[in-house]
Amino acid sequence: MMGETGIKAEHLYELKSLADPRLSPNGSVCAFTETGICEEKGDYFSNIFTVDTDGNKRPVQWTYGKNKNHSPRWSPDGSQLAFVSNRSGKNQIYVIGTGGGEAKQLTDLPNGAGSPVWSPDGKRIAFQASVENGKKVTDKEEEKKEKDKNKLEPLEVTKMKYKSDGEGFWKGKYRQIAAVDVETGEVTQLTDGQYDHYLFCWAPDGKRLAVGADYSEDKDNSFRLDLYFLNPESGELRKIDSGELSFSNASWSPDGRTIALSGHNMEYKNATLSRVWLYDVESESFTCVTGDLDATIAPVLGGDFLQGTVPPGILWADDSKSFYFIVSDLGNTVVYYGNVDGELYPALLENQYVYGMSLDGKNQRAAVAISRPDEPGDLYTLEITTGELTRLTSINEEFLKDKSLSVPEAISFEAEDGVELHGWIMKPADFEEGKKYPLILEIHGGPHTMYGNTYMNEFQILSSRGYAVLYINPRGSHGYGQEFVDAVRSDYGGGDYRDLMRAVDYALETYDFIDENRLGVTGGSYGGFMTNWIVGHTNRFKAAVTQRSISNWVSFYGVSDIGYYFTEWQIGSGLEDIERLWKHSPLAYVENVETPLLILHSEKDYRCPIEQAEQLYIALKRLKKETKFIRFPEENHELSRSGRPNLRIARLNYIVDWFDGYLK
């Protein structure tokens, strides 16, 4: 797509994000959430839209204003649409009739409500809410505590999992499940106790809910969700014995006989591929139906633009035998068909990121939200039997019509040890034959995620400023099988580093428009670790930007919200082997750094706490190295994806300006 100008950081205010498609029961209408940014308020807002699936009409807006309205969910008969809104100050559940009229507020809870799921008879909506142990979700005492939350009080810490990036310090609240009567608004709390409960789905007969919970005594060292059946009348919970399996979602077949679940046994810790499991309700047995598929059953493609995406889980067709799910494979997320007999085959194989899906189980049709490198994200219908896609929305068409976007070229090459590697290279948006351009190597986080065929705002901004952009999936990435994704564990800075350097060598050998004397490197989280590692092991890059990084595994062990177990899983030891942790720490090689390094970090990043950046910065400055440190107030690990818009824009401009200063 060519036009007059490229993408700038400030264009973030004009771009819109579409997510969470939901088909009506008869499949004729699809609801979705559209998110934008209010520049005056400096915050995001979202509204609910619907569009007819015949593709003949423009989307219709259902909610208005600069609040956050999201999570549209159709009633079983299609006469009402439930959604979540913060228009009253906290997230609450609302319903609106499809014939029009005002939205009705169903919940008014002190701590809010979310994740609505309709009962099969349409009379109740189950939802999740947080509350202190021993309290009820409806207690007004909780409301008073919320009003006094700015009062400073000591925080008593008695467990290791006492903080979480994005949520902050744990203050005694647990996720509970409740239900609200749609007619009367009466709320009934269904779970309680000192455990978190996660709502999955209702049984078709309405007599049970499938929920996830971890009732382990030692929750600090447990990382699983067991499947439970919850009786909505009595509140009785029954655990389903699944051995070592842990599940992230579940969906009941329409006939009630089978539950499809995404899960794994953590054989490779957090590098374990998630599989599709079927639970036979009558025989009480589990069967894995994707054991021969060497790919994870989840959309794990990393991006920096989309807001409010919701993994679709496993979607049943009306025959209760076949189902559909998303697989991450070779830099794409693709739609797969499966059935209870173990058959599997792809229903949509394209170079794209399918990040949302809703199924019309009667007509073999789905609504899919798709992003591509030159398309931030739009809604399509997918005819499953033919693979035909029909566009339903073009929410950024007006903005993009005069913009030049760079379309990546896929590349593949061999690593030093013969392993095949896969990635992409983007030319500058104003590319001219015969000219030489600087190159930026981008490194993804995770490490167990993947780059792929989606719109990357940061990459487009670099391209518009005259940079070529190189990005690959080194070992440790998803999309290339279990052995590949596991290969980085206990080898940080080893094979993964060599993969990235081989990618740069390949690009220089293959593309004569790259200036080998003007190379830059950047990445965030694991990509920040790797940026730190690279500048401590080679001087081939003339500028680098490290973002939300890890520099010291020894201190990371105790300060990160995931530090103690993530370090053991990924580096292969804890504090019993400090020499090993230090060997894999970029800080140990700081004397070797000659590359000018910009350090970007958020003040409230609990995943990679800011002390990681502080140590690196002070060590570099003490050695008279060329560096600068930018601290982003009040932000967490998600700054680049969902942080305050003005700070996201500032971050992008810091990156571009730093590279301009050394590579132009």
Q: Any idea what the CATH number is for the domain that residue 557 is in? A: 3.40.50.1820
Q: What is the pLDDT of residues 134-169, one digit of tens each?
A: 899 999 865 565 556 678 999 999 999 999 999 999
Residue 578, in any domain of the structure: yes
Q: How are beta strands 322-329 and 365-372 bridged, if at all?
A: unpaired
Residue 515, in any domain of the structure: yes
Burial classification of residue 420, based on how many CB atoms lie within 10 Å of its CB (0-12 exposed, 13-18 middle, 19 or more buried): exposed
- Percentage of residues in the chain having pLDDT higher than 90: 95
Task: Give the pLDDT score at 618.
Answer: 98
Using an 8 Å Cβ cutoff, are 460 and 399 in contact?
no
- Give residue 4's pLDDT band: very low, low, confident or very high (50, 70, 90): low
In angstroms, rounded to a whole number, what is the distance separating the alpha carbons of residues 27 and 330? 31
Task: Give the pLDDT score at 61.
Answer: 97
Task: Give the pLDDT score at 150.
Answer: 73
Using an 8 Å Cβ cutoff, are 370 and 355 in contact?
yes
Average pLDDT over residues 69-84: 98
335 strand-pairing partners: 326, 348
Using an 8 Å Cβ cutoff, are 305 and 295 in contact?
no
DSSP characters over 236-299? -EEEPP-TT-EEEEEEE-TTSSEEEEEEE--TTGGGPPPEEEEEETTTTEEEES-TT--SBSS-
Alpha-carbon dihedral angle through residues 477, 479, 483, 485, given to the nearest 10 degrees: 20
In angstroms, rounded to a whole number, what is the distance separating the alpha carbons of residues 601 and 639? 9
Active site residue 525: yes
Residue 137, in any domain of the structure: no
- Whole-model pTM over 0.95: yes
Average pLDDT over residues 160-183: 96
Q: What is the pLDDT of residues 566-589, one digit of tens each?
A: 999 999 999 999 999 999 999 999
Residue 457, in any domain of the structure: yes
In angstroms, rounded to a whole number, what is the distance separating the alpha carbons of residues 251 and 253? 7
- Give residue 460's pLDDT band: very low, low, confident or very high (50, 70, 90): very high
Q: Which domain holds residue 498?
A: 406-663
Task: Give the pLDDT score at 318.
Answer: 97
Q: Residue 293 pLDDT > 80, yes or no?
A: yes
- Would you tell me the crossing angle of helices 526-535 and 495-510 to the nearest 10 degrees? 70
Using an 8 Å Cβ cutoff, are 66 and 645 in contact?
no
- Percentage of residues in the chain having pLDDT higher than 70: 98
In angstroms, rounded to a whole number, what is the distance separating the alpha carbons of residues 605 and 48? 31
Count of domains observed in the chain: 1
Task: Give the pLDDT score at 55.
Answer: 83
Q: What is the pLDDT of residues 479-503, one digit of tens each?
A: 999 999 999 999 999 999 999 999 9
Residue 641, in any domain of the structure: yes
Q: What is the pLDDT of residues 24-75, one digit of tens each?
A: 999 999 999 999 999 999 999 999 999 999 988 899 999 999 999 999 999 9
Using an 8 Å Cβ cutoff, are 81 and 69 in contact?
no
Say which of 246, 525, 551, 640 is annotated catalytic: 525
Say which of 246, 637, 640, 642 is annotated catalytic: 637
Question: Picking from 124-133, 143-152, 256-265, which range would have the lowest pLDDT averaged per residue?
Answer: 143-152
What strands lie across the sheet with 124-132, from one edge to the other? 114-118, 124-132, 173-181, 187-189
Task: Give the pLDDT score at 148.
Answer: 64
Task: Give the pLDDT score at 478.
Answer: 98
Residue 439, in any domain of the structure: yes
In angstroms, rounded to a whole number, what is the distance separating the alpha carbons of residues 337 and 121? 28
CA angle 290, 274, 523 (to 5 degrees): 135
- Would you tell me the crossing angle of helices 645-663 and 457-464 to the nearest 10 degrees? 40
Average pLDDT over residues 186-212: 97
Task: Give the pLDDT score at 143.
Answer: 55
What strands lie across the sheet with 437-443, from one edge to the other? 409-414, 420-426, 468-472, 437-443, 514-524, 543-547, 597-602, 627-632
Residue 82, in any domain of the structure: no
Average of per-residue pLDDT values in the chain: 96
Residue 634, in any domain of the structure: yes
Task: Give the pLDDT score at 2.
Answer: 41
The closest alpha carbon to 407, from 365, 375, 444, belongs to 375
465 strand-pairing partners: none
In angstroms, rounded to a whole number, what is the distance separating the alpha carbons of residues 469 and 3? 20
Task: Give the pLDDT score at 3.
Answer: 44
In angstroms, rounded to a whole number, what is the distance separating the alpha carbons of residues 367 and 24? 10
